[in-house]
Amino acid sequence: AVTLTARKVRISLRALGGARPARVIGRPGNLADDLLEASIDNLYSGEKYALFEMELPEGEEGAQLEAAEVVLEYIDPVTGDTVRKSAPLIFSFTADGAEVEKHQRTDIVSQAALARNAEIREEAVRLADEGKAQEAAQMLGERTKQLRMLAPSVGTAAPQMEKESGYFEDLAESLLSTGGLSNVERKEVLNDAYMQKTQQAPVEVVSGDLPGDKPEDESEEEEKEGEGNASK
């Protein structure tokens, strides 16, 4: 069953020490001066995340930098209390590439890549809609190469990166051969982008409505109701 675990979730990152916030990847976010924020209205059981992109200043070998303070706030759905937690974001500088790779969080790297893939999908549809199929295919071809270079460094997520690269390669070939996207292809591409952005399992589009027309919490609520009806 789907369980409501938190309400009015807000994640904020305040940059420190010369670091600069850039953007929230894969979901709506707000950027104001040195502060980045992302919100999730209702959080149900299952992993959800927000990816924040930052620009760091140069640092000397061996130095450490407290680059940001990360704050999580939410309402406990059982007690109604507001919960607030915070933690520093600390980086160490090194010129040793092997040391960087050793401490790399492959789960974060792979999720950031998938969030970027969602943006690539939406951009490909936009270009195809504007009659720029060749430009869209070129962009997809470049992304295919990037994902194949990334795959060896993301551990257990490598097969997913390979699958994504194959998908983009096929989509690029389709655009070049047909000069555009069919209605079915367009819906599938946007559906995949929506699923990646909202971190849900892929679903089949069976109507004329695009999943992007629904708020994230509304679609989650419908899943909850559907499971409840199925259990009766």
**Contact assessment for residue 9 and residue 43, using Cβ atoms and an 8 Å cutoff:** yes
Distance CA 60, CA 93 (A): 6
Cα distance from N-terminal residue to C-terminal residue, the chain: 12
Predicted local distance difference test score (pLDDT) of residue 105: 86
Report the topology of domain 4-102.
Immunoglobulin-like (2.60.40)
Start-end ranges of CATH 1.20.58 in the chain? 106-205
Distance CA 170, CA 176 (A): 10
Predicted local distance difference test score (pLDDT) of residue 153: 87
Ranges assigned E (strand) in the chain: 4-15, 20-25, 29-32, 35-44, 51-55, 64-75, 82-92
Torsion of CA 59, 22, 25, 142, to 10 degrees: -80
Predicted local distance difference test score (pLDDT) of residue 201: 41
Predicted local distance difference test score (pLDDT) of residue 25: 83
The phi and psi torsions of 5 (rounded to 5 degrees) equal -105, -20
Burial annotation 106-127 (CB, 10 A radius, 16+ → b, else e) = eeeebbbbbbbbbebbbbbbeb
Q: What CATH number does domain 106-205 carry, 1.20.58, 1.10.10, 1.10.390, 1.10.150?
A: 1.20.58
Predicted local distance difference test score (pLDDT) of residue 200: 55
Predicted local distance difference test score (pLDDT) of residue 40: 86
Triad 79, 85, 87: Cα angle to 5° = 165
The parts of the chain modelled with pLDDT lower than 70 are 1, 46-47, 199-232
Digit-coded pLDDT (tens) for 56-104: 999 998 999 999 999 999 999 999 999 999 999 999 999 888 888 888 8
Start-end ranges of CATH 2.60.40.3670 in the chain? 4-102
Tell me the one-letter amino acid at 190: L
Predicted local distance difference test score (pLDDT) of residue 219: 39
What does the block give as tokens for 221?
A: 């609520």
Q: In 130-157, which residue ranges form alpha helices assigned H by DSSP? A: 133-150
Question: Would strands 51-55 and 35-44 be described as parallel, antiparallel, or unpaired?
Answer: unpaired
Residues composing the chain: 232
Question: What is the DSSP secondary structure assignment for residue 211, as one 8-state letter?
Answer: G
